[in-house]
Every structure is written in structure tokens, then in C-alpha cells.
Structure 1
Amino acid sequence: MTFTDLPYTETQRADLARAVEQVRGDGQILLLTLEPFAGLAAVTEPVTRRLAADLAEFNAAGVPVIVRLAHEMNGSWYPWGQQPEQYVTMFRTVAAAVHEEAPESAMMWAPNYGGGYPFCGGRFEAAPGSAARAVLDTDGDGTLTSADDPYAPYYPGDEAVDWVGMSLYHWGAAYPWGENELPEPGKLAAQLTGNYRGAGGDDTVVPDFYTRYGVEHGKPVAIVETGALYNTAVESGQTAEFALKQAW
């Protein structure tokens, strides 16, 4: 996997080309994460067309590409976050160009795990009273809470999406995190399927991502980002780093 901005600079484009060559030499697939730090409006038609042309060039060189576009869009920490209508429009526009011009490239939609949604307090949180907030209020009760669907408002649709992915981490058992605590057996699978009720709280309100998007929508599912926190700055007690990471 490699990360780059969208739009990317000439220097970033050169770095991307080097990543493509490395992948080509290994006979693998490139997972390309594109981050529109300048905002969704910066992903213009010329930017989209250039991306599609570059992907077509990479494909012609023998490198298939999976494009993870503007990941963790349900979070409040990225400039493209919590803007469901604009996000879906942008994703569909890029997907149409990529599918047309670079058929050996695939589009991945990859939200953050929904536990803790709506991730209040982030810089890019949907503002109260905004149009985005209204769209995100999936249960129609006038407020945005953990009872609202953290995935569905952001889904661009089956025609635009080829893969679905997720960022899913173990930070410990309780906020504010930072302690070295073993994950319970099966925690990752329980979170992925909306069945988690454990030391970290009751997340059963979170939808079953795997069944909904992997089974019902028929998309391959990837855990694109994952990890288990081991904090070397605190006393570990009886928890060893290897045991913690192995458990996750």
C-alpha cells in the first residue's frame, strides 16, 4: 500500500511511479490510498481524468491497482469527513472515470469502524443544523448519535464500489486508552460483524459490516488498516507486547 494526495504533485506522481515499479517487480497488486487533503471540491474533472489516465498507464505496465479513495470518510478527522452527499458524488465521479479508462483498476470504499460514532469533537465534524447532519441522522430523531448508521450514508453504491475495506484497531479496553490490555478472544471478528460486547463497551448498535457489504452487496472485504496498541511509556504489568499483538 502507498498513500498520496489527490490531486497529487509532480513529485508525488514520481514517487507513485516508483511504487508501481516496485510492485511490478514483485508481481503484486498496488493498493493506492488517495487523500484529498485540499477538500472534496479539489477533486475536479481534470484531476479525475489525470488519475484515470495514470492508472491506465500503470495497468498497461502490468500493475493492477486497487484505489482506496478518501478512506475513513465517516470520521471527523479528515477534510473529506462527514460530508456524505459530496463524498458520494465525488466517489462516483472518480469511479466512473477509472472504470472507463483503467479497467484493471478497482475502487475501494473503506470507512472507519463504527464504534464510537459519530466521533464528536473532531475538526471536521458535521455541524449541528447542517445539511450533512440531517443526512447522517439515519433514524430521524433529530440528533446524531451512536444509534445512527455509521456506514450507509457514505456508501457510493454497488456500481461505483468494487471492494469494501475497514480501518479496525485495538486501542485497549476503555477511553482514554493508552493502557496495555489484551483484546478479548474474537474481538476483531465481533467488531467486523456488529456483535462486539466486551471490555471496551457494548457496540452491538454498530451494523454488521461484513454481512451487509460483503455478503448482501457481494463485495470482497479487506481489513486495510489494523493494529494493536502497545504503549511503551506505561507499566505493562503482566501484559507482554508479543502476547497483546498475537491476541489481536
Structure 2
Amino acid sequence: MSTDDTRRTHVKGRITLRGEHVPITTTDERLLATDHSSSWVHQDPWRVLRIQSEFVEGFGALAGLGPAVSVFGSARIKAGEPEYELAEQVARELVRAGYAVITGGGPGLMEAANRGAHEEGGTSVGLGIELPFEQGMNEWVDLGVDFRYFFARKTMFVKYAEGFIVLPGGFGTFDELFEAMTLVQTKKVRGFPIVLVGTDYWGGLIDWLRGTVLERGLISPPDLELLQLVDDPADAVRLVVDAGNDLFAAEDSAARDAAEGAD
């Protein structure tokens, strides 16, 4: 066994694997693999039970969470970099506004947001994912849930959040951002706020959407209103709070109208 193998650690549910026992494929990969034999007939029904258990465990762990906001960002940005401090401050502002903070539970900006929430005395949540190269849940997570399947994890990010704040990140961050936008745009979920933090980083994306994509008619002008771009953490949190207040007012008005109609 090589020195590199001895340092590799992989957490699979309640099981910890190291060295040559670390799997070379993920649960998602095995689920989505094309199998031309008939073995899937016998294996896939059992996978359904495992998927069900992930939803049950996630719902059970987060059901009493209260108001929360999901914060996304890169796993590769380290402590001491400006974006790390930005993520910490975003989380602190969210806690002061009465929100729990949900991240992917990993390193980088996820760690920073969990750290800010924890040190501010709020609820710091991490939703981890099984990956061959994942380092596990960061130390600042107070409530952590590990998932094998990305789609089960994504459901938790959306179901228990009242808004998304998105910091600079790569493919994983883009995936979470565009999934949130798609769900709101197609009205699969109510219109919760999606706030991008970092004009220098996200400005080019907004320009591309407003130019190339909108000009070709592939999105509509109202779709651009789904995204709000700021630089100040306090502004990001204010947009989330204002959206929550607007929603509460709308729901309260609808309830009054329904009561008056019943009379």
C-alpha cells in the first residue's frame, strides 16, 4: 500500500474506509451507470429503499430547523483569502437576522460560512456528500447530515431554506445556483431570493445572460430579475430579509381575503 493510499479516508454512512478500501466510484455513478445485463432488476429496488432512507433522515434532522438560508461557494478558497472572510461575514449577518446557515459542510467557503454562523451563536448546518476526494464535514458544523445522492441533498438545500446566497465558486456552485433559478423560474417552488455576492466574479455571468442569452430569446426579461448582485454582506442579507417580509405580508393578505370571503 502506498503512502498516498494510507492517507486517503472515505466516509460511507456509518463506515470509514481508508487506503485500498476507498471506492473508485460514487453511489450516484453506480445508480446512473448503464447496465446491459438484467442485474439491475434485482439491485435497483434496493437502491430505492436507500434513497428513501436518505430523505427520511434528512427530513427528520432538519424538520425543526426554523428559518434558514443556504450559502454556496467554492471548496477551494482557503482561510485568509478575501472571499473566506466575506463568507464568514455573510453567515454572521444571517445569524443576527435570525436565520440558521446551511452549507455543503465541506472546506473553503462552506467552512467559512459554518464558522461564522457557529461563532456568532447561530445554528450551523452542513449537508455533506459522499465523494472519493471529499475531506468530510468541517469542524464548524453543529448539525450535519451526510448524503450518498446529490439529488437527495439538493432537495434539503431547497426545502429548508428561505433564500440562497451564492459566493464565488466552480461547477458545484454553478450547479446549485442554476438549479435554484430553474425551480423558481418554472414555479416549482415559491420565489425565494437568490443573491450573488461579488460583482467582480459574477458580473461577467450577468452580462452574458443579459446579452447573449436574452438577446437570442432563450430567456425572458423577468428571468433576469431572479438574480440580485451585491458586494456587501449586509446588503445580501437585507435582500433575503426583505423578500421574507414581502412574502409574509402577501400570505397574511391572502389569509385575510380568504377569511373575509368565508364570512
TM-score with structure 1 setting the length? 0.27
| Greater share of helix | 2
Larger Cα-atom Rg: 2
